[in-house]
Structure 1
């Protein structure tokens, strides 16, 4: 039975989620503020954390940041009314795995939870893109033998492009498959993360192994070592 921590200060929402998730066979714990949520997440093992952004005592984004600083890799799904592109980027850079905006359907949230659980069950395998090595088991990236430190979402995006090496990944497919967002959304957030990945990998323009297909998306291709 998968264990879920809900960090939500609105009693009606947390009760609704608890009842629905328990009916689906999940074990559910509730924290009503950020400090309690952080304490429980650090002290116990959960399979998923559902985290509100606007919380008493400590905002959700700080809870997320502090958890990632302690190497906690539990998947975090922000459940929040905040949905501007900059807020979404901030949440993902803090280490969130997914983002669902209020109001939402329980069925959509349930599917997002299942997606995160399936990712944990998938057998890890190394991926290569020219001199770039992706170690899925340890969430490490190396370029020419030198380790490159990416955020969780940067890692997920690079992994997705390399796993689909040689094929054009459209912006809509990326936003659905990497961000798990299945509604009309500004895909400009992808550009921010691609630029950050290129900078961290120190990719030169003339040998960029992640090419922009203008107006469509991106494609990853091998380059010479």
Structure 2
């Protein structure tokens, strides 16, 4: 699951994208102009940005100057001529989709970009803890630690959704593979184990009456 920023001034298109992202398990934040998007970029992190070029306020090309280089961007725009597409890609966009578009194609492009990013960044480092998502080797201050399969899968889920609040029910579904049936204590127990093993008491935050969030912002 990814947390995606949608920057699109046409509300019907913005809502359609958000609805389909939710259907496939992603979360999203919706904004409708470039100035509002700039505020979001300065205050939050995202797994991916879907952005129109022609926007009220700052346009999409100018917004690219404020996007972290590690955050993938898909331009979604009616500007389909070759020079605009080349410009967008040269600015660092990962893909460029011309309106009108098929929702299934957009979702496939999103999935492809996210998979490329995940393959390119198998290491996650935070406060002396380094997690290799490929080899599943975890070190804390240089010393390798042991972790059960379920503990690692919970850790991996938190990392892939860093800075996003996840409910206990959602964690049960993503990690244990079943829906909420009235017992979420197993999530709490495993969270406590992760906090202790990784020295992440201040990083894995309890979200009141909801669940947990891995706080990985600088």
Q: TM-score, normalised by structure 1?
A: 0.52
Instruction: For residue 104 of structure 1, report the CA deviation from its aligned partner.
Output: 0.5
Gaps of 5+ in 1: 126-225
Q: In structure 2, how many angstroms separate the alpha carbons of the residues matched to 1:117 and 1:65?
A: 21
Structure 1 residue 41: deviation in Å? 2.1
Counterpart CA distance in 2 for 1:97 and 1:42 is: 20
Correspondent of 1:88 among 74, 79, 85: 85
Q: What is the distance in 2 between the residues matched to 1:73 and 1:124?
A: 10
Q: What root-mean-square deviation, in Å, do the aligned CA atoms of Structure 1 and Structure 2 show?
A: 1.5
Q: How many residues align?
A: 122
Is the contact made by 1:9 and 1:55 (CA closer than 8 Å) also made in structure 2?
yes
Kept after mapping to 1: 8 A contact 2:50/2:74: yes
Deviation, 1:72, is 3.5
- Give 1:45 shift: 1.4
Partner of 2:63: 63
Following superposition, the deviation at residue 49 of structure 1 comes to: 0.2
Contact 1:65–1:95, Cα closer than 8 Å, also in 2: no
Larger Rg: 2
Q: Classify 1:73/1:42 alpha carbon distance in 2 versus 1 (closer, same or farther; 3 Å).
A: farther
Provide the rounded CA distance (Å) in 2 between the counterparts of 1:22 and 1:101.
22
Q: Separation in 2 of the partners of 1:101 and 1:94?
A: 17
TM-score, normalised by the number of residues in structure 2: 0.53
Per-residue deviation at 1:85?
1.0
Q: CA deviation at 1:121?
A: 1.6
Does the 8 Å CA contact 2:41/2:66 hold for their aligned counterparts?
Answer: no
**Residue 123 of structure 1: how far off its partner (Å):** 4.9
Residue in 2 aligned with 1:29?
Answer: 29
1:79 paired with 2:76, answer: yes
Match of 1:52 in 2: 52
Q: Give the distance between the partners of 1:107 and 1:99, measured in 2 at CA.
A: 15
4+ residue stretches of structure 1 with deviation over 6 A?
A: none
- Equivalent residue of 1:122, what SS? helix
The separation in 2 between residues aligned to 1:83 and 1:65, in whole angstroms, is 21
* Contact 1:81 1:101 (8 Å CA) reproduced: yes
